[in-house]
Structure 1
Amino acid sequence: MTGLSPEPLLHVSHLTAAYRGLRVLHGIDIEVAAGEIVAVMGANGAGKSTLLRAIAGQMPTGGAIRFAGTDLADLPAHRINRLGAVLVPEGRRLFGGLSVEDNLRLGAYARRGPDRFKPLDLVFELFPRLQERLKQRAETLSGGEQQMLAIGRALMTNPRLLMLDEPSQGIMPRLVDDIMDAVQRIRGLGVTILIVEQRLVETLSIADRAYVLQTGRVVMAGPAATIAANADVRRAYLGM
Structure 2
Amino acid sequence: MLSVHEVTTAYQGLVAISAVSIEVQKGEIVCVAGANGAGKSTLLKSIAGAERPRSGTVTFDGKRLDGMAQHHITATGIAYVPENRRLFPRLSVRDNLRLGSYLYRGDADREGPLDLVFKLFPRLSERLEQRAETLSGGEQQMLAIGRALMTRPRLLMLDEPSQGIMPKLVDEIFQAVKRIRDAGMTVLIVEQRMAECLEIADRAYILQTGRVLMQGPSAEIKGNPDVRKAYLGL
TM-score category, normalised to shorter length: over 0.9
2:69 aligned with 1:72: no
Count of equivalent residues: 232
Q: What is the aligned partner in structure 1 of residue 113 from structure 2?
A: 119
Query: Per-residue deviation at 1:73?
Result: 2.2
The match for 1:210 among 185, 200, 204 is 204
TM-score (norm 1): 0.95
The match for 2:220 among 226, 229, 239 is 226
- Superposed CA offset, 1:63-89 (max 9, x none): 000001111021100000111111100
The match for 1:181 among 175, 179, 182 is 175
Query: Per-residue deviation at 1:238?
Result: 1.0
2:43 aligned with 1:89: no
2:4 aligned with 1:12: yes
The gaps in structure 2 that reach 5 residues or longer are none
Whole-angstrom CA distance in 2 between matches of 1:124 and 1:89: 21
- Superposed CA offset, 1:121-178 (max 9, x none): 1111111100000000000001110000000000000001100000011111111111
Q: What is the aligned partner in structure 2 of residue 58 from structure 1?
A: 50
For the residue of structure 1 that corresponds to 2:10, the secondary structure is strand
Query: Per-residue deviation at 1:90?
Result: 0.3
Whole-angstrom CA distance in 2 between matches of 1:143 and 1:163: 19
The match for 1:105 among 98, 101, 122 is 98
Q: What is the aligned partner in structure 1 of residue 125 from structure 2?
A: 131
Whole-angstrom CA distance in 1 between matches of 2:189 and 2:196: 12
4+ runs deviating over 6 angstroms: none
Whole-angstrom CA distance in 2 between matches of 1:73 and 1:37: 22
For the residue of structure 2 that corresponds to 1:110, the secondary structure is helix
2:28 aligned with 1:36: yes
Whole-angstrom CA distance in 1 between matches of 2:116 and 2:180: 9
What is the identity, as a one-letter code, of the residue corresponding to 1:98? L
What is the identity, as a one-letter code, of the residue corresponding to 1:174? K
RMSD: 0.8
TM-score (norm 2): 0.98
Whole-angstrom CA distance in 1 between matches of 2:123 and 2:159: 22
Whole-angstrom CA distance in 1 between matches of 2:136 and 2:33: 26
The match for 1:24 among 8, 16, 24 is 16
Whole-angstrom CA distance in 2 between matches of 1:199 and 1:14: 25
For the residue of structure 2 that corresponds to 1:211, the secondary structure is strand
What is the identity, as a one-letter code, of the residue corresponding to 2:130? Q
The match for 2:146 among 148, 152, 163 is 152
Question: Between the two proteins, what is the percent identity of the paired residues?
Answer: 65
The gaps in structure 1 that reach 5 residues or longer are 1-8
Contact 2:47 2:66 in 1 (8 A): no
Whole-angstrom CA distance in 1 between matches of 2:52 and 2:182: 33
